[in-house]
Each structure stands twice: as structure tokens, then as C-alpha cells.
Amino acid sequence: MSEEQFSELIERYLNGEMRTDELGRFELLRSGNAEVNNRVTEHGQFISLVKQYGERIELETRLNAIHDEIDVHSLKAELTVQPSWIVTLWRNHHSKISVAASIAIFAVLFTLFFTGYLSNRDLNYVYLRDRINKISKKTDQITQKVNNLNAPVTKINNPGKFRGTGFAITSNGYIVTDYHVVQNADSVYVQNADGKSFRTRIVYVEPETDIAILQIADTSFTNLGTLPYSIKKGDSDIGENVYTLGYPRDAMVFGIGYVTAATGFTNDKSNDTTTYQVSIDVNRGNSGSPLIDSKGNLIGIINAKETNVQGANFAVKSSYLLKAIQDIPADSLKKPLNIFSKNELAGLNKVQQVKILQNFVFMVKVYNQ
């Protein structure tokens, strides 16, 4: 494949123009080839910069068009006070002009004044002056807009009514969290480990299993790269070592524990087969955190809702997440949602796993009117 053909392939991938089978093959190529993955990431960043440059050029073109509307030379000619023929005559022939000629000149000036000629010149001057002031104000406004393009991005604070955690299930911006985190939200943002926030939209919810799937809908977002964890299809065993990363506060918090029961509890203390019981200390901000086993598999989603069972914490099983993904209506997806994850955490120690995993875990911020 030539360089030009490969660049065209990357362009189609980033624009979401690939067929499903073609997309699957390309995702596998990215996951297995670091050079290809870097090329895709760099190409996406390049397209973003070109788009920003194009928007700036468009604004500069509009600004130049407004300046072109101002005919400086014509305005200068109109506003410059030219000596009248009477003044010229006086300058050239003042030594030869008699008293009678002087009287005639005053008579002409007197006539011009009462006919309104001089007054009209004043009115034209005022009109032109006001017009120039208005055009100048518009020019200043456009200049201010151009300057705002270079203004630093203001981080969004968190005045929302609730905060939780979410994690990526694809590289192109699909995020999973708990339904109770985003319930009744007017707007939802996610913030990455670097502190940058992105606007999202809610794609799908399942209140029964407390699952919500979001999509990052922000033009400043770039692909995350290949997911380092796989989503486990089967159940995990009691006693298995597990850990989680989440945002119970502004900083990311690591928690470790065990699967203590294969089922959870409902509020009436009956068995809940959709969840595990775990021995990890969690707070409300941990809702939506990923539950990872020692091999780097995603096995559940932390659910930090208050229950009547003291000291018990729960996680929705990953098999129900996979089912929720399958149940999403096709017309709700604006980008492909394909699960092509490869476990890159297996064999690494906890510190190494966490360093990789933290780039795929987000703070979820909920805002209400």
C-alpha cells in the first residue's frame, strides 16, 4: 500500500466512513502496530489544527472585507476643507482688488450663508463622522473575536448537583457510567486525568441495571488510542483480587479488595444476580468506576448507591454492560460503537496497570438548571 493510499485510509477511518468489517480490521491493525496507531493519532491532531487555522483565516477574511468597504481616499477628499474660489482670488490678487471687489466678496458669502450651502457642508461632515465611528466600533468587535481565538481554555468548575466516574469502552469517545449519576441531568461533562473537560450526550440508559452510556460530543476531543483492557463476558469467582479507580474527590483514588459474593442485595435484602458484592471502600463519587481483576479484565461497574445493607458495596457485572451495548438502537449512534479491545494489562504489576488505566477513566460532572 502506497503512502498516499495509507493516508486516505486513515482519513476515512477518522471521518467514520469505513464499513463495519473494514473498521474491525483497521482497529485490529492499530492495536497490533504501534506505528500505525501513532500515525492515526498524529493525523487526527493535524486535521484538528487545519480546521482551527481555517476558521481563523475565515475571520481574518471577513475583517479585511469590512476594511475594504471604507474608501479612505474618498473620505479624506470629502472631509478636507478646500479653499473656495473666493479665497484663491484673494490670495492671488489681494493687492489689486479694490474696496468694491471686497464688498462683492462679502455679498457672495452673505448669500451663501442664507441659502444654506455652508450649513449643508456642516451636516455632511457630521454624517460622515458618525458613519466612521460606527464602522470603527464594528471593526473593534471583530478584532476582539479574532483575539478570543487565542484565549486560553477556561476549565469548567463543578457547581453541578452530583459527580461520579466513568470509563471508556471505545477509543472514539463512548463512556460508561451509572444511570443514577446522570439521571435528570440537563448537561453532562467528563474530565480526563489532565483536567480537560469535554461535553457529552447521553446515548442510552438502562435504569434496571443502573447503566448509562455517554458519547463525547466535543470537537476538541481526539481519539484515546487502543483500550488496554478487555470486557469479561463470564462471571468472576468469589475471592478474586480486584481493584478500581475513581473520583470520590477531585483527585483520582485507587481502591483494592476482593469479590466477596457472586450476587448483591436489593433494598429488601433479596439476591441481585446482576451485581457482585465487593470489599472495596467506595463513596458516592466512585459510582461508575471500572472494577478490574488481577489480569486486567474489566469485570464490573462500581455502584455506590446507598442501600440498607451496612458495609456492603456492589458492582454491576460486565456481562450486563455487554448486553446494554447490544441493545442500543442503531439510530442513537452518531459514531461506530465497536468493542475491539485487547488486554494489555495482563502480566503488569498494579502500579504499571494503574498508570495505563488512568488515561481511560474520567470524572463525570452533572449539571442542572
pLDDT in tens, 211-224: 999 999 999 999 99
Average pLDDT, the chain: 79
Contacts of residue 350, defined as CB under 8 A and 6 or more positions apart, other chains included, come to 243, 256
Cβ(199)–Cβ(221) below 8 Å: no
325, pLDDT greater than 80: yes
260 DSSP 8-state letter: E
CA atoms within 13 A on the CB side of 42: 7
Q: What is the dihedral of CA 303, 304, 306, 310, to 10 degrees?
A: 100
CA atoms of 111 and 90, how far apart (whole Å): 18
Cell readout for 356 is: 495505563
Cell readout for 220 is: 476538541
Average pLDDT of span 113-125: 53
Question: Between the CA of residue 130 and those of 65, 136, 137, 369, what are the distances in Å?
Answer: 20, 10, 11, 43
Local confidence band at 17 (pLDDT 50, 70, 90 cut-offs): confident
Q: How many CB atoms are closer than 10 A to CB 152?
A: 5
**Percent of the chain scored above 70 by pLDDT?**
69
Average pLDDT of span 318-326: 94
Q: What is the pLDDT of residue 9?
A: 80
The CA radius of gyration of the chain, in Å to the nearest whole number, is 35
Average pLDDT of span 55-62: 79
- 230 or 27, which is more confident: 230
**35-47 residue pLDDT tens:** 888 888 887 887 8
Q: What is the pLDDT of residue 88?
A: 59
Query: DSSP H helical segments within the chain, as ranges?
Result: 3-14, 20-32, 34-69, 72-79, 85-93, 99-115, 117-148, 179-182, 318-326, 350-357
Q: How many CB atoms are closer than 10 A to CB 197?
A: 20
For 41-110, give the secondary structure using H, E and C: HHHHHHHHHHHHHHHHHHHHHHHHHHHHHCCHHHHHHHHCCCCCHHHHHHHHHCCCCCHHHHHHHHHHHH
259, pLDDT greater than 50: yes
Q: What is the pLDDT of residue 327?
A: 93
> Residue 188 pairs with which residues in a beta bridge?
200, 366
If you search the block for the grid coordinates 458495609, which residue do you land on? 311
Question: Which residue, 45, 37, 44, 42, is CA-closest to 14?
Answer: 44
CA atoms of 216 and 211, how far apart (whole Å): 17
184 DSSP 8-state letter: T
Cell readout for 173 is: 469517545
CA atoms of 147 and 116, how far apart (whole Å): 47
Q: Among 77-81, 214-218, 351-355, 362-366, where is mean pLDDT lowest?
A: 77-81
337, pLDDT greater than 60: yes
Fold annotation for 156-367: Thrombin, subunit H (2.40.10)
CA atoms of 287 and 290, how far apart (whole Å): 9
**267-276 residue pLDDT tens:** 655 688 899 9
Q: What is the pLDDT of residue 357?
A: 94
80, pLDDT greater than 70: no
Q: What is the pLDDT of residue 158?
A: 45
237 DSSP 8-state letter: P
157, pLDDT greater than 50: no
Question: Between the CA of residue 34 and those of 44, 134, 253, 358, 359, what are the distances in Å?
Answer: 15, 57, 29, 20, 17
112, pLDDT greater than 90: no
